[in-house]
Amino acid sequence: MASSIDHAAIEALERSHDVLRAFNGTEEQLCSVIDDREALIFRSGVQISATVMDRAPQLRLLVRAGSGLDNVDVEHATRRGIRIVRVPGSSAQPVAEFTFALLLSLVRQVSLGDRLLRQGHWPKAQLGGPLVTGKTLGIVGVGNIGRRVGELAVAWGMRAIGCVAVPSDAISTALAARGIELTDFETVVSQADFLCLHVPLDHVTHHMVDARVLSHMKQGSYLINVARGGVVDEKALYAELVEGSKLRGAAIDVHESEGEGSISPFGELPNVVLTPHIGAMALDAQRLIGARVVALVAAHQQGELEKTLRPDELVQQEMTINEGEL
Ligand code: MLT
């Protein structure tokens, strides 16, 4: 196990398998323990590189306890005939709820108020912020998570607009039924009072929010990133927050550099809320994810993985991998 998951799931795995815990290891550390492993369970915070995989000749299964695949070399796994599965179903709601936790904390300066109060200050007059009701929430990436964020926004009396990579009438109609208006990226960026990012990190979305995009944001708007650090050009965001005229603040759960010892470049800015990639850390959701990981590992062992997989757990791997070969 390269990452920690729900404790009950770890215990269940340990009852039926030879489990080795190597949580949040570097590439070197993973390489030093993976040689006889057949399956690897991981979350964000570790890199499942070709080098790591190649140190494990018997490796047949990678289980992503969550949704993001930006930290695994999918092409190499495919070449090696290693099946990748993921468990995204239970993380959408916690991430959507956390987006709102950040949004409200940011706009009403909850974290700053907490920090100042602990230092003996009473800055009531300085800690005002706008209402969210009546404002526009822009969603970049209206997938499972983004759609739920939109629904929460509508429940808060906000206008919810969003964009997707490949728009269609069917998507537009489905979103409209939930009160979310499908539009294009530029419109979302320029009209949002709160711009929320919910796209995976890949070569298309890397630094998609750069200096140009930030300069097109609405005056006095806020940015909330619970997607991946690499989706935002952090240097450009820092410059905008310090010298720019558009953004009033940002909430950042995901960072270009993550893990113990990483210092955020935004640490000194009072108008930024920072959290350590905890969007999906609702414990009841983690319990469900853990139970599903246990079930998938068991199904793999029994040669029944392919028929156990739910559609969203299946990672498209170009080459077909026959279960019999695993
Ligand atoms: C995910 O991709 O599911 C989330 O980033 C959760 C995580 O692994 O921390």
CA of 27 from ligand 1 middle (Å) equals 19
Q: How sure is the predictor about 317, in pLDDT bands with cuts at 50, 70 and 90?
A: confident
Edge-first strand order for the sheet with 39-42 is: 39-42, 61-64, 83-86
Cβ neighbours of 208 (radius 10 Å)? 19
In the chain, what are the domains? 7-90+282-313 (3.40.50.720), 92-274 (3.40.50.720)
Query: Best mutation site among 62, 63, 67 for ligand 1, i.e. most ligand atoms within 8 A of its Cβ?
Result: 67
The sign of the torsion formed by the CA atoms of 252, 256, 259, 264 equals negative
Q: Which atom of ligand 1 is nearest to the CA of 3?
A: 8
What are the helix (H) ranges across the chain?
7-16, 27-33, 50-54, 74-80, 92-107, 110-118, 144-155, 169-176, 185-191, 211-215, 234-243, 283-301, 305-308
CA of 68 from ligand 1 middle (Å) equals 6
**192 burial type by CB count under 10 A (0-12 exposed, 13-18 middle, 19+ buried):** buried
Q: Which atom of ligand 1 is nearest to the CA of 278?
A: 9
CA distance 259 to 72: 17
Q: What pLDDT, in 10s, does the model give residues 9-42?
A: 999 999 999 999 999 999 999 999 999 999 999 9
Predicted model pTM: 0.94
The predicted structure's pLDDT at residue 325: 36
Q: What pLDDT, in 10s, does the model give residues 224-270?
A: 999 999 999 999 999 999 999 999 999 999 999 999 999 999 999 99
- Measured by CA distance, the residue closest to atom 3 of ligand 1 is 66
- Measured by CA distance, the residue closest to atom 9 of ligand 1 is 44
pLDDT at 298 > cutoff 90: yes
Closest CA to 142 of 107, 108, 177, 104: 177
Q: What pLDDT, in 10s, does the model give residues 50-89?
A: 999 999 999 999 999 999 999 999 999 999 999 999 999 8
Residues with a catalytic annotation lie at 228, 258, 277
CA of 87 from ligand 1 middle (Å) equals 10
Q: Which atom of ligand 1 is nearest to the CA of 86?
A: 3
Closest CA to 320 of 84, 78, 50: 78
Which residues does ligand 1 sit against, CB inside 6 Å? Answer: 43-44, 66-68, 91, 277, 280
- Distant-in-sequence, close-in-space partners of 74: CB < 8 Å, separation ≥ 6: 84, 315, 317
